[in-house]
Chains A and B, each alone.
Chain A
Amino acid sequence: MSEADAVAVVLWLGVTLYAIFGGADFGAGLWDLTAGGPERGASARRLIDQAITPVWEANHVWLIFILVVTWTALPEPFAAIMSTLFIPLSLAAFGIVLRGSGFAFRKLMHRVSQQRALGAIFAISSVMTPFFMGTVVGAIASGRVPADGNGDRLTSWLNLTSITIGLLFVAACAYVSAIFLVVEARKRGDLELAAAFRRRAVGAAVVTGALAAAGLVVLDQDAPVLYDGLVSDALPLVILSVVCGAAVTVLLLRGAPPGTRPLGILAVATVVWGWGVAQYPYVLPDTLELGDAAAPSSTLTAVLVVFGAALLIVVPALGLLYTLAQRELLGEAEGSQLGSDQP
């Protein structure tokens, strides 16, 4: 494995973690949006708020990680992607502004009307952001970003592949999130809410599966490089993903026993790695390969060293955060003013 391959693996670990944890965060926004009116949706919204409050900033650091590793290790494709996909990436950035501020401010509001307004901003941008990120992935995967960055600034991401993958992203976020929320609800002893999220998870799983199948058909027509990879080198991952997805759906219908969440995570991770393996060695399909796009060896070494340091520092710290959060040693009551029904 070359140094460039190693950095690509590091980058893909970041993409995977963002897909899972960032995805769960975004999906929670969709469930917040569809939870119902202020009274009916109060318990679901309170759960969502409590579950993501201590971790949402840490989850989204993965996005910064992805951006930084890409621009450092793959500066030319980074510039090309940012130039061609200026519009959807700007929209995703706006979505992140709205989402973060809507979420952070909502819990500080006492009035239901203010909570609703900020909650709507949080929820709608939670759906918008992964959609635009999906269109970006679709544009890259279907070879619409040329190495010089002069791709069409509209049709590169407004096409069937991009839109299908955008919708797939939204559905997958909802799916991961619902699986996490089942466990969160159960941990808090709210079995009714756990059952509700179990039903939502099944629905999201079906929609995600359907969109993934549709995506394959579209890719066959529109993104031959990626499709060929998916049905050859990446085929084991694709099959594993389908098996995991089916197993999760069965488990959800049978009451979501322990093991549902890891399998659900695996179903998403295998799709992410399937994409990576299928596209390898292309960074930009048909135009730019990893070996030609990678930064000089000394830069790649620096990235790998920083990553090693991150493993030593961040992983134990993150472990501490998640452990404390799981043992309910974190969190204050001010996180739970949602639905406190003050006029």
Chain B
Amino acid sequence: MRAVEAIPTLAASSELLPARSQMAFTLGFHIILASMGVAFPALTLLANYRGIQRGDADALLLARRWSKVMAVLFAVGAVTGTVLSFELGLLWPGMMGRYGDAFGVPFAIEGLFFFTEAIFIAIYIYGWKRLRPWPHFFTGLPIVVAGIGGAFAVVAANSWMNQPGGYEVGADGKITSVDTWGVLFNDAWSYEVPHMILAAYMVAGFLVASVYAAGMLRGRTDRYHRVGFAIPFAVAALATPVQLFVGDTAARAIADDQPAKFAAMEYVTKTGPNQTEWVGGIYDDGKVKLGIGIPDLDSFLVGFSADTVVTGLDRIPDDEQPPAPTLLHLAFDAMVGIGSALLLLGLWGAWAFWRRRDLPRSRWFLRASALAGAGAVVALECGWIVTEVGRQPWVVYGKLRTADAVTGASGLWTTFSIVLVLYALLGVATILILRTMARRWREGTDEVDEDDVPYGPPSDEPAPEPARAP
């Protein structure tokens, strides 16, 4: 009875639940900001480029305002990211002590990208007034590159946790040598990394577009709002079909690499061919209730044939079963469902653009677009639930149990409670600040706003020394 053996480990670490909750909560919070950090600069630069290249004043104004939003989100993201660095050690010393020398390498690379990003974001955000247009635009490009590079490094670390490799251990269980390329390009990076980067572009694109869709629904249908909608929407709509393809590939790879995760997220109860694909439904003691079953489809999706044998939960030892199959399955279904809906929304927009070079006329398109941002965020969170909860009970898949990695410190419910309060305040403050900024822009009460010309000397100060951009 393996289940009985597992109980002492769990009982010994009563701090496991608050530690996991705190990690999940702070990571789930940060990932929204991280996605904006990865993809929002690209949207801003597209608007900036259009603004300079075509003399499009609306696009230039959008780029300026977006860069201010970017500054706020980047500041909050820098803070929540620092907290995560602390938490890796504070909550999971068992993992960092044992695998830090392998797992840490991608983070060292990420640090390099993040540093580059922080520097150029400062130059770009604060360079609007006194740098010249094209030099200023080019100071923004490293942000985009560093964002993608940083996302690669962090997600490579996460994919290493799912498919650890690239290291050797000695007789005492300690790591004796590390192959950097083996760690970075582990067996899961090739599907996890593009999946996350595309998710970031979808989240940023649909979220920014949804703000302008909501504005247009309230009657603000001027060109400024239409451009503000079209740029991010186009980027997100282009990313979506690629994402569905990458996601499909990832699901097949997980069926091979992590059969327990796949079996739980797809409700595969008994190993064998002709597996039913379940849509919705609740998992109850080996049975699926209330779900819509499509015969053979799951086997077909895994191996393009109904005869494909898929490993079920019956082959997974009790103490290696992922917790909460219902949560995993519904999160997976929600992610796929939202992704498919966003694909249709993008096609709707593309159709109208192809026929009439304009946005769809229907208000339903705007209503759907106004919801698309929140939808993309929900899909993002669901994807992370599938990845992270589906890996349990392992923190390093097949190597180290989460229960063995957790800190021996006590009082984690206290720190988790403080984190909840702080982050709630942080989240509310961020939203209030962004709303206040938007209101001031609408009312024209941002006294130091874009009324004065960008890329010119400041008008409200005595002319400084004749320094120009280098």
Query: Measuring CB to CB, which residues of chain A are less than 8 angstroms from any residue of chain B?
Result: 53-55, 57-58, 60-61, 63-65, 67-69, 71-76, 78-83, 86-87, 89-90, 92-94, 96-98, 100-101, 103-105, 108, 149-150, 153, 295-299, 302-303, 306, 309-310, 313-314, 317-318, 320-321, 323-324, 327-337
Contact = CB atoms under 8 A, between A and B. Distances in A.
B111 interface: yes
Interface stretch (B88-96, B191-199, B213-221, B353-361): B88-96
Nearest to B109: A306
Interface string B421-459: 011001001100100110000000011110000000010
A100 B75 contact: yes
Contacts of A64: 81-82, 85, 111, 114
Nearest to B142: A317
B448 to A, nearest CB: 4
Given A71-B107, A80-B97, A296-B101, 19 more contacts: A58-B122, A80-B93, A83-B93, A83-B408, A94-B418, A100-B76, A100-B79, A104-B72, A105-B433, A108-B72, A295-B104, A296-B177, A296-B178, A299-B101, A299-B105, A302-B180, A317-B120, A323-B470, A333-B460
Contacts of B418: 94
A87 B409 CA distance: 9
Contact of B409 (A58, A153, A333, A334): A153
Listed residue (A78, A153, A324) with the most chain B CB atoms within 10 angstroms of its CB: A324
Contact of B78 (A73, A100, A310): A100
Contacts of A321: 119, 122-123
A82 B407 contact: yes
Contact of B426 (A71, A82, A97, A334): A97
A72 B180 CA distance: 12
Contacts of A78: 89, 93, 96-97, 100
- Consensus secondary structure, chain B interface: helix
Across the A-B interface, give the 9 residue pairs with the lowest CB-CB distance, nearest first. Answer: A72-B104, A75-B100, A79-B97, A295-B101, A82-B89, A79-B93, A86-B409, A104-B75, A100-B79
22 contacts: A60-B78, A64-B111, A64-B114, A67-B85, A67-B86, A75-B101, A78-B89, A82-B96, A86-B409, A90-B86, A94-B418, A101-B76, A149-B93, A298-B178, A302-B105, A303-B105, A310-B111, A313-B112, A314-B112, A324-B131, A329-B468, A333-B458
A57 B78 contact: yes
B122 A313 contact: no
Contacts of A296: 101, 175-178
B185 to A, nearest CB: 14
Contacts of B410: 153
A57 B85 contact: no
A333 B468 CA distance: 18
A96 B110 CA distance: 20
Contacts, number: 239
A79 B78 contact: no
B187 to A, nearest CB: 19
A342 B120 CA distance: 33
A79 B90 CA distance: 8
B224 to A, nearest CB: 20
B116 interface: yes
Contacts of A60: 78, 82
B351 interface: no
Interface of B: 68, 71-72, 74-76, 78-83, 85-90, 93-94, 96-102, 104-105, 107-112, 114-116, 118-123, 126-131, 142, 175-180, 407-411, 415, 418-419, 422-423, 426, 429-430, 433, 436-437, 446-449, 458, 460-461, 464-465, 467-470
Which of B83, B123, B131, B433: most chain A Cβ within 10 A?
B123
A149 B176 CA distance: 22
B426 A101 contact: yes
Nearest to B101: A295
A329 B128 CA distance: 9
B97 A76 contact: yes
A55 B115 CA distance: 12
Contacts of A314: 112, 115-116, 119
A162 B15 CA distance: 27
B379 to A, nearest CB: 27
Contacts of B409: 83, 86-87, 153
Contacts of A153: 409-410
B176 A79 contact: no
A324 to B, nearest CB: 6
A54 B105 contact: no
Contacts of A100: 75-76, 78-79, 82
Nearest to B448: A333
A73 B107 CA distance: 12
B305 to A, nearest CB: 43
B343 to A, nearest CB: 36
